Amino acid sequence: MSKYKAQSGREPGSSPRADGRQPQPRPRTRSTATPRARGTSARPPARGKGPGGRGATTGRRPASRKWRWVRLALLVFLLGTVIAAIAGGVVYAQIIKDLPDPGAPLKGRDQTTTILDRNGKLITKLFAEQNRTDVPLEKIPAELRQAVISTEDQRFYEHKGVDPLGILRALWVDIRNPKAMHGGSTITQQYVKIAIVTPERTIKRKIMEATLAYRIEKEYSKDQILGLYLNTIYFGHGAYGVQTAAQTYFGKNVQDLDLAESAMIAGVIKSPGRYSPFLDPEAARGRRATVLGQMVELGFVKQSDADAAEKEELALAEPKRYSSQAPYFVEYVKGLLTDEFGADAVYRQGLTVRTTLDLSMQAAAEKAIGKALDKKGDPSASLVAIDPKTGNIVAMVGGRDFKTQQYNVAVQGHRQPGSAFKPFVLATALVNKILPEQTFESGPRKLAVPGGQTWSVTGAGGGRTGPMRLREASEKSVNSVYAQLILDVGADKVAEMATGLGIETSITAVPAIALGGLKEGVTPLEMAAAYATLANGGVRNTPTAILEVLGADGKAIERERPKGARAIRADVAYLVTDILKGVISKGTGTAARIGRPAAGKTGTTQQYRDAWFAGYTPDLVASVWVGYTDSQQEMLSVHGRKVSGGTFPAEIWAAFMKSALVKTPKSEFKKPAGLTTVVVCLDSGQTAGDFCEKTGSALFLADNTPGECELHTTPSKITVPNLVGMTKENALALLKKLLLLFKIEEKDYAGVTPGIVAAQSPVAGSVGTTQTVVTIIVSKGAAANQAPVAAFVFSPVAPKPNEKVTLDASTSKDDGTIAKYAWELGDGTPIASGKILTHTYKVAGTYTVTLWVTDDKNQAASVTQTIVVK
């Protein structure tokens, strides 16, 4: 620091200021206290010699006891203050006794930080060697100095190393919440942090910083301190100091930077991992605009100049190559560490960081993407995998190639999710008492939305229209059903649900979010986190990348670990999962089948610009995005295919999950209490009734089950029963029960008891409706030489090929008077004889059978029926 030491004969800070302003003398203050009037006394009147004193006749009791308590309280307060001051002094002395020498704060402290995966395997090392070139302050443009002061310490030239109001405010927050340490450091304090060995964010460190900052300000001028700071601070990508930062980001010397470039570099200081133009150009532009706005407020630049700088494109240098394992994840972790501990601690203080990453799963993720998208010109892809039970990030791929694309889509790429957003709508609907088997119109629709506008949405694929159950609409990703659904439950509730499950990006509550039409989009990390909440039975865990941080001494640095919190009921989460399982088993995501229980959802945006698959098992969650980083480029022919969520994303997901879970036993999703199974009509989605033909079992919340089917209150098809031989009363009762119309005729029949049905039309086994009229012929008694009436039934009514069919004959006469039963095919070929015939049809088709009966008087009768085999 000797080259910056103040010259003798000049007060530190008396030179012209480095921000271009002349220092202003501070005005002397004059006391405004009013002098006491001469001859008056502030002492109260003696007891008994003034109003209220002894001998007064006010009737009040003496106030001596009250004043005694006041004096005692005052004494205790003063004594406590003295004790606290002494104790504070002792503590302060202990804290500052080991302060480093302010004259040489940077010497002998470089140590390498080690980044490990969750199993202790080495991912990379952050070497302490600094890429830094010092430059004298006069070579640093005034605009860059002003930009740094504007954003980092606007009162830099006014305070004495510590901004008292800022420190008091920070200490108050720290005392109330010691684990959420507050900012507010001055430039001098930030410089001092580099000299502090331990990276803990504690009150003790704050006091040490403030004390050392005060000492430095007494020894060095403001310009010297600013020069030290600008040559020392970390700007990301291994660049220390403004000269190296200028070379790294713009490929030029610091003195050649313009206003826009200076503002961008100044903006990076706050968080190099977040505001690097290499990693997130949009965030860097936004931060640059903030810095320019602050410069205008302080009078450093004109508004017109700031506006011009804000419009300037970032002409960036080529970023340096990267050779680490899991480079996107490493950059993400470096950003987290820098935000929490500062760049100096991360790069120079020998930390050991055990992360949540699993290198074997990371390799599986990179392989799955590399194998699927292996041709030049293919779109990029991102994958984030999370352990749903803990929130630990076990794999992260932010793009196809970090060497050519350092922009981390996994955490920075806010893309439209398409139908992958529908599970959040589904969860909202179930919470709001909409049944999973409820039916909606599935065809194209025009819906009225708030504001009087019309929303046109497409329907189911293949031109299908008509009612569709919500479960099936989810499996097939039918937009028209989900458009109606969000209008029923409200877009605000869907936005709230998505936020609760894990989407941290602000969501504008408009109906289009039902189909994934978001204003800002979401990241793969957010999607993985939200789906993990569903996989974890409705309990949300904050995505975590760091398990443990050890100091250079090997001791763990205390950090706050987020705790899981319930986002939705366990039974609702399970029911959503149960429905999403159908997406993989028989819906739009069949390419994601992995041979074990899994749930998920596809997503495809308009013009095929973004494609997603997000899914999970009980043990692992992964979200996959495929698309070009230029969000306007369409994926109409990648390897000859249009890219939808059910193609490359689902295939990448399946390949990753199979590899990542190869050593994990298969397991079912744990079914919680609060669910029940109901047999439903597959047409109406309601509880099946007697006349429902297509039925199946479905899962419901126990407190929200469907009523009885309202669609099938009468049978659509009725098989005519065999009424011959029944009494007239019983036959009529049966016909009424089956809702068949009837007609009664009475005739003389030999051998048939009066009142018994002797014949019917149509014959037994015929298929009718509620409009079918069945005529029954009731015997009135014997008639001479009456010919018999023949009839037969067959079972089953709709036989299949190679299935045995039983045909049972009946007549209007007692069996004793019938001499012969004979069966023939439709062409007259005899089959067999006897009252009962068993026959097998080998192929599907329509067949006719004729029954002949002959009585003992050689009177014959016949009946022919058609049998359909299918």
Three-state DSSP string of 318-334: CCCCCCCCCHHHHHHHH
CA dihedral (310, 313, 314, 316) in degrees, to 10, reads: -160
* Residue that wins the pLDDT comparison between 264 and 787: 264
Question: Residue holding tokens 């779109």?
Answer: 379
pLDDT in tens, 374-424: 999 999 999 999 999 999 999 999 998 888 788 899 999 999 999 999 999
Angle between helices 422-431 and 570-586 (to 10 degrees): 140
Check pLDDT > 80 for residue 344.
Answer: no
From CA 428, how far away is CA 507, in angstroms rounded? 15
From CA 101, how far away is CA 673, in angstroms rounded? 65
Check pLDDT > 90 for residue 620.
Answer: yes
pLDDT in tens, 217-233: 888 899 999 998 998 88
Check pLDDT > 70 for residue 61.
Answer: no
Say what the pLDDT of residue 321 is: 64
Check pLDDT > 80 for residue 661.
Answer: yes
Please report, rounded to a whole number, the percentage of residues in the chain having pLDDT higher than 90.
46
Whether the Cβ atoms of residue 161 and residue 213 lie closer than 8 Å to each other:
yes
β-strand pairing of 445-449 with 453-457: antiparallel
Determine how many CB atoms are found less than 10 A away from the CB of residue 61. Answer: 8
From CA 721, how far away is CA 744, in angstroms rounded? 16
Facing residues of 251 across strands?
none
Least confident of 67-71, 261-265, 292-296, 595-599: 67-71
pLDDT in tens, 733-746: 988 888 888 999 98
Question: Residue holding tokens 């309202």?
Answer: 710
Considering 204-208, 359-363, 781-785, the range whose residues carry the highest mean pLDDT is 359-363
Say what the pLDDT of residue 252 is: 93
Mean per-residue pLDDT for 556-566? 87
Check pLDDT > 60 for residue 30.
Answer: no
Burial label, 358 (beta-carbon count in 10 A; 0-12, 13-18, 19+): buried
User: Is the torsion defined by CA of 542, 543, 547, 550 positive or negative?
Assistant: negative
Confidence of residue 140 (pLDDT cuts 50, 70, 90): very high
Whether the Cβ atoms of residue 731 and residue 723 lie closer than 8 Å to each other:
yes
* Residue that wins the pLDDT comparison between 70 and 427: 427
User: Is the torsion defined by CA of 89, 95, 98, 103 positive or negative?
Assistant: negative
Give the N- to C-terminal CA distance of the chain in Å, as an integer: 97
Mean per-residue pLDDT for 844-849? 88
pLDDT in tens, 84-118: 556 555 544 554 455 445 544 444 445 778 999 99
Mean per-residue pLDDT for 153-178? 73
Check pLDDT > 80 for residue 159.
Answer: yes
pLDDT in tens, 3-13: 333 333 333 34
From CA 388, how far away is CA 538, in angstroms rounded? 10
Considering 122-136, 462-476, 640-654, the range whose residues carry the highest mean pLDDT is 640-654
Angstrom CA distances, 104 to 98, 109, 191, 404, stand at 14, 11, 12, 40
Question: Residue holding tokens 């990179």?
Answer: 366
From CA 198, how far away is CA 686, in angstroms rounded? 66
Say what the pLDDT of residue 579 is: 98
Question: Residue holding tokens 């599970």?
Answer: 423
Angstrom CA distances, 590 to 576, 618, 742, stand at 18, 19, 52
Say what the pLDDT of residue 183 is: 54
The model's pTM is 0.66
Say what the pLDDT of residue 349 is: 81
Angstrom CA distances, 300 to 280, 297, 448, 701, 819, stand at 27, 8, 52, 63, 121
Q: Which domains does the chain have, with CATH numbers?
A: 120-320 (1.10.3810.10), 382-660 (3.40.710.10), 673-713 (no CATH), 718-869 (2.60.40.10)
Say what the pLDDT of residue 437 is: 94
Check pLDDT > 80 for residue 180.
Answer: no
* Residue that wins the pLDDT comparison between 262 and 2: 262
From CA 369, how far away is CA 394, in angstroms rounded? 16
From CA 44, how far away is CA 38, in angstroms rounded? 16
CA dihedral (795, 800, 804, 810) in degrees, to 10, reads: 30
Confidence of residue 52 (pLDDT cuts 50, 70, 90): very low
Both structure tokens of 704: 């929200």
Check pLDDT > 50 for residue 209.
Answer: yes
Mean per-residue pLDDT for 293-320? 92
pLDDT in tens, 638-653: 999 999 999 999 999 9
Confidence of residue 174 (pLDDT cuts 50, 70, 90): low
Q: Which residue type occupies 94?
A: Q
Say what the pLDDT of residue 243 is: 92
Residue-by-residue DSSP string for 668-718: PPPP-SSEEEEEEETTT-SBP-TT--SEEEEEEETTB---B-SS-SS-SSE
Angstrom CA distances, 40 to 32, 51, 835, stand at 20, 18, 138
Angstrom CA distances, 551 to 342, 351, 354, 484, 547, stand at 14, 5, 12, 56, 14
Mean per-residue pLDDT for 654-669? 97
Confidence of residue 460 (pLDDT cuts 50, 70, 90): low
Check pLDDT > 70 for residue 669.
Answer: yes
Say what the pLDDT of residue 482 is: 95
Say what the pLDDT of residue 402 is: 87
Q: If you ran DSSP here, which 8-state letter would residue 756 be given?
A: B
Burial label, 159 (beta-carbon count in 10 A; 0-12, 13-18, 19+): buried
pLDDT in tens, 680-734: 999 889 988 877 888 899 999 999 999 998 888 777 778 888 888 888 998 999 8
Say what the pLDDT of residue 822 is: 92
Considering 38-47, 516-525, 551-560, the range whose residues carry the highest mean pLDDT is 516-525
Confidence of residue 167 (pLDDT cuts 50, 70, 90): low
Length of the chain, in residues: 870
From CA 438, how far away is CA 579, in angstroms rounded? 13
DSSP reduced 3-state for 277: coil
pLDDT in tens, 769-816: 878 899 999 988 755 566 777 888 888 877 889 999 998 888 766 656
Check pLDDT > 80 for residue 602.
Answer: yes
Across the chain, mean pLDDT equals 83
Confidence of residue 68 (pLDDT cuts 50, 70, 90): confident
From CA 161, how far away is CA 164, in angstroms rounded? 9
